[in-house]
Structure formats: C-alpha cells, structure tokens
A and B are shown apart, each in its own frame.
Chain A
C-alpha cells in the first residue's frame, strides 16, 4: 500500500524533527492513518534526525502502536485486575463469538478490531470495555454483546 507522504511531512512540520519527538510524531501518524505504516517510518528517517532504528524500536516497544491497518472501530476489552476478577475472560469469549474473530484480529469487513487493554481506570465499574474513546461499564456477557448490537443499529 502506498500512503500520501505529504501528510507525513505535515505532521513532522507540526511536531518537530528532533529525536525526542519520535513518540509524539508516531502518535500523530497513528491518529492520521489509524496505524503506523512502515513507509511513514522510512520516510521520516530520510527527512529528519530520527533514524529508522529509533522509530521502529519505539514503534515496536510501546503497546499503543500498530504496524498493520485496523478496523473502523477498536474494541478494547479490559483485562486489568478488577476486570479479571469480575469476569473479563467470559466477556472476551462472548465478544469473540459475536464478532467471529479472536483478540488481536480484525473482522473480515474491517469494521472492528478486537484487542485487550490492561486497565482503563474504571475498575469500580468492572468489567469494562472501551470502544474507541467511550468506556462501557458494569457489563456481563449478554450486555457486552448488546453494546455491539446497539452500535450496529
């Protein structure tokens, strides 16, 4: 896949070229493309003080960065301690069954990406699922499936 490198240049121009900007630049790249295309890393390395090794190193170290495209909506099932105790494993099973994919995968129609997260800070409402930037609390198997059904309608 080829990407529009002018968008990459615009981000670098906004954030800065110094090596300390690696994470903010990658974060903005991900906001823009919804993942970090390898072409973007190669391009930034050519045009700034950041190296390919630094950028790739950072992108693979931090859980936030994705190097492959994602679905329109990202569903994150919380697997923090409180959610684990509250039944996150069951929720995951129910959602996996509903979407027909495993955690870490995209649905074939690229509508959803199912992932996990270690605590979104809503532990008192465990178990919790975060869809894009909205948090849904006090779920169980049935309710979590209903949240997705509601998104569809």
Chain B
C-alpha cells in the first residue's frame, strides 16, 4: 500500500446535475474511497459544469503550480487509472485529456468570451473562499464604499446590458425606474424559473457559481433602494436550490448579506421560493402572484413591477444570467462590457446547445457572431453525416430558424427579424430526421397545457391550433387548415394579455414561413419526409445494408429479419414506424419511403 501524504495534486470532479446524470457520482465516490483507503493525502474537490456536457463526466487534475489537466468522459474505471498513473505516478494519460490549443476543444473554446460562465467548472460552488479568491464580493464592496447608487445605475445603463430572460429590456433603465419610486419598502427578484424547455444556463449558473448571482442582486438592491429579495427557482432544480441555500448561509456568515453588510450600513436579505411547476410563472406578474401564495396568473401592466410589484411595493425583477453579469460590469467597468457586441446588443450571451449537435452544452459567445459560427464551429454541427436543417430558438415563444439564415447575427433585433426570438438562449438543433410540423405540434401542445386560462384566445385558440396540427400529423389535414392556422395565430397574438399567448403561435408561424412545403406534403401527399409522423411514413432497408444486425437487435417489435452479412428486410405489417432502426444504422441504409 502506498502512503504518500504530501501529494500536492488536487483532484477536482465536476458535480453538476448534468455531470451526475452522465455518471459523475460514481467517479466521485470512487475517487474519495481510493484516496482514503490508500491514504494518498490528495485533496478531492468538486466544481460545477464547464459547459462541455457532451464530454461529461469531467475531472480536472490540478498540479501544485496551478496547471490543470481536463479529463473527459471519465468513468469509474478510468478514474482508477487516472489516480494510479497521473495523481500518484505523475504521468498524465494524454489521450483522455482535452487540449485547449488544438482540435475539438480549441474549436469549442476559441470563439467564446466568458463572463457569466467564467467561474463555472473552475471554482467550488459550495465554498465561498473559492469565490472570494476570484475577486468575489469586491464589486459589492466598492459600490457600498462609494455610496453612490446613481453612479451604479449610470454604469449599468452605459454598459448596454439587456435582460437575458427573454424580452431584452435594458437593465439599467429598469433599475432607474425602481430607484425613482418612493420607499421605504422595495423588493428585488431573481427569476430562476427557467421555463423554456431546452434552456439550462440558469440552472448551470446557480449550480456552478451561485455567489455571482447573489452579489449581483445585492448590488441591484443597493442601487434601487431594496433591502429584501426573493429568488424564484423552479422545483425541478433541486441541486441549484441546495447550493443557493448554502451560498446564502455562507455569505450571511461572512457579512456579505444580511444586516449591515461589511459594516457599511446596507441591509439586504435574500429568500428562496420554490416554484411549483407552471411555465406561466416565469412571467413576472404571475411569478409575483405565486410568491404571494396565489394562482400564478398574469395581470395587466401598467402598473409595472417597478411601480407596484411584489406585495404592492416597487420591485425589480431580473433573470439569473442578467444578475450574474452585474458584478463583472462593476469590476471591469461598463466600457469593457460595451466594447463587446453589436450596436444595440452588448456583451456576451450564454447559449444552451442541445438536440442534434455534436458538442452539446453551454457556450458563451460575444454578441454579433453568427448563428452559423455557433452551431457549426463552436458546436461542431450535427456530428453525424446528416445536415443541420434548422435551429429552434426561444422555446415556446420563439421559432425555427432554417440553416439558410445562419448568417444571422446574434443580436436581439436581428434574431427577431427571422420570426424567432433571442429568448433565454436555448438552441435546439434539428436535422432532417426532425419533422417541422411535429415540432410546431409539440410546442402548441406545450403552450395549450401551460396557458393559465385567463384569456379566451390563448386558452381555446391554442387548443384549436393543436387539434389542427395533430390532425395534419395524422394524415387527416385539409387544404384549408394552413389558412385556418394563420388566422388563429393572428387572433391569439392580438388578444392575449401576456407574453405566453402573444408569442404562442410563433413556432407555427416560423415553420409555416420556412417549411411550408412540409405542411403541404403532409396534407396533400400524406407524406412525412422526416419519418416522424407515423401515419405518414414507412421505413425500408436499401442495398447499402451490410447485414450488421444492429437494427434487428434493437427493433422493439422484432420485425426486421435477415442473416448476418445479408440485406435485412422490414416486415411492414408488424412495423410500428418508430424509426429506431434508422437511428441505429451506421450505413444510412434505412430510408423513409
């Protein structure tokens, strides 16, 4: 047995929800166990998510001089080898380590500019010392020492920071309105409801760098004159909530939150409220209703939250990512932030890449780069021999931007021009196996379920749209259906009170704009070219088949026959058209007929 007690290397295991879903818990447990049993005297720490979810679980070995080796796709078995060879033996396993200056990792990281994600996957989110070591709470201290709220607001206005929760409202202006209101009681809210399915930057930020959000909120509280705040976090994020509780307790203990912060006379307390599963509660007035203990139904604005918000008091509400930008802007100056981006969209934006993309995960890029650069260069395209067909941006309020428009710049106004919206930054990439009518149907199913029911057109109109889309997907569409969809879309948009209804038709409108032929094919030719709508497709095996048996082995209804090395055949009568054979085929031998 080895008894090396002064090994200066540190093992850092990525422990975020995504890392754990990929198997990090096993890696971490093995690591602790080995270090203890062999008395290696090595420190084992945790960190959040680096954004490279496609290569998780990840482990970093940090040398005494601070250099880091990033191991990707670590399994418990590999971890054992890494400990023996690298941690104990001092010999890194080069082929498992990501190299930042070449290949895939360079493509991924080269175009990124990290502000919000700077500490994610680097520091230990459960240790305030780590945050302090990277200049944490310095921005808050400088603001409290200067005692000039107007200057803070001025900096925010000049930075050009716009809300990252979807609508892109200038943050500095919002603060200015709240500051102008009479006190003494004002509130601050952090919107961590992250309802857009396909977006996960808020979860990652809260799990990986919670103090940055707390510090941003305290700065905002000081600037607007609020002394109490709520973080409204969706209940589906248990780890984010747990880390927030820990972070708040540590910050209070150190005097960065609570009464008389840093002895500088400012009080600021933060509470956590768990959401209870309603997409509409991401909308600010619905969110406040639910904090007050009511059904989360939006109300008419004005009055805006800045005038009459939570419990009828002036309230400033911003998104997680917006808050996380604030300390950086104060520390580095508004000029540095405003130097990045386009004329009207400054700074950087975090995007969540998912769907048919090679390097799925989180990336943070400067505003102004193109969609194509993000998807093809940073994200690596589909990673298969299929082509990217479109990217869905902005979730249920957004739309599908076709590959032909990938020259579009990341800029609030430019993206809006495509019919999609910047939204919170979810990007779900689609290839030719995704049916655009089915995607539109999927989103209407979502909004129809999530509509709070207050406005008739949103409540009933979305349901009618869903019915039409469902029948088109079932091959029962009628020629007049497209016009009917367009008419309903217009009416829902103009007669809904909140953003949910006003934007619910967007997924239908953008797919109709760019993929109308797919709707027409469904209706006229009873054909789904993507092979998703089961009533409208068949699968057949071509002579590209090598007889590898993979499809036959994975077919859930065992309807594929064939010997090894001979062409396989699908029994069309038994086939349920699930497409599993196509997903598994490595030779593109399964085609949609």
Total chain B interface residues with beta-carbon distance under 8 A: 62
The reply to whether B578 and A135 contact each other, CB–CB distance below 8 Å, is no
Of A6-14, A67-75, A79-87, the one contacting chain B is A79-87
- With A64-B235, A120-B236, A121-B237 known as contacts, the answer to whether A80 contacts B197 (CB < 8 A) is yes
Q: Bound state CA distance, A141 and B553, in angstroms?
A: 12
Interface check B121, CB cutoff 8 A: no
Report which of B56, B293, B352, B360 forms a contact with A19, defined as CB distance below 8 A.
B293
Question: Which chain B residues lie closer than 8 Å to A19 at the CB level?
Answer: 292-294
- Residues facing A in B372-398 (CB within 8 A) are 392, 395
Q: Choose the segment among A21-29, A39-47, A99-107 that binds chain B (4+ C-beta atoms closer than 8 Å).
A: A21-29
Question: Assuming the A-B contacts A61-B296, A94-B556, A123-B428, are A82 and B198 also in contact, with contact meaning beta carbons closer than 8 angstroms in the complex?
Answer: yes
Question: A122 to nearest B CB, angstroms?
Answer: 5
In the assembled complex, the Cα of A117 lies from the Cα of B290 at a distance in Å of 20
A109: min CB distance to chain B, Å: 24
A64 adjacent to B276 (CB under 8 Å): yes
Least distance between B54 CB and chain A CB atoms (Å): 6
B442 nearest CB across to chain A (Å): 5
Near A by CB (< 8 A), chain B positions 1-47 give 17-18, 20-22
A123 with B238: in contact, given A63-B278, A85-B430, A90-B580 (CB under 8 Å)? Answer: no
Answer whether residue B163 sits at the interface, using C-beta atoms and an 8 A cutoff: no
Number of A residues contacting the other chain (C-beta, 8 Å)? 51
Smallest CB gap from A129: residue in B: B21
Name A123's contact: one of B56, B200, B235, B275 (CB within 8 Å).
B200
Cα A27 to Cα B353 with chains together (Å): 32
The answer, among B17, B277, B452, for a CB contact under 8 Å with A122, is B17
Question: Separation in Å of the A2 CB from the closest CB of chain B?
Answer: 26
Which residues from A are CB-within-8-Å of B348?
A: none
A80 to B279, CA, bound (A): 12
**B236: which of A54, A121, A141 is its contact (CB, 8 Å)?**
A121
Shortest A53–chain B CB gap in Å is 10
A23 touches B236 (CB 8 A): no
Q: Give the residue name and chain of the A residue nearest to B578 (CB).
A: A90
Within 8 A of A (CB), among B291-350: 291-296, 311
Q: Show the binding face of B for A, using Cβ within 8 Å.
A: 17-18, 20-22, 53-54, 56, 194-200, 203-204, 235-238, 273-279, 290-296, 311, 352-356, 360-362, 392, 395, 426, 428, 430, 434, 439, 442-443, 446, 450, 452, 554, 556, 578-580, 583
A residues in contact (CB < 8 Å) with B: 18-24, 26-27, 50, 54, 57-58, 61-65, 79-87, 90, 93-94, 117-126, 128, 130, 133-138, 140-142
Excluding A82-B197, A123-B352, A123-B428, 11 further A-B contacts by CB distance (< 8 Å) are A19-B292, A27-B235, A65-B276, A81-B443, A90-B578, A121-B18, A121-B194, A121-B236, A122-B21, A125-B22, A125-B53
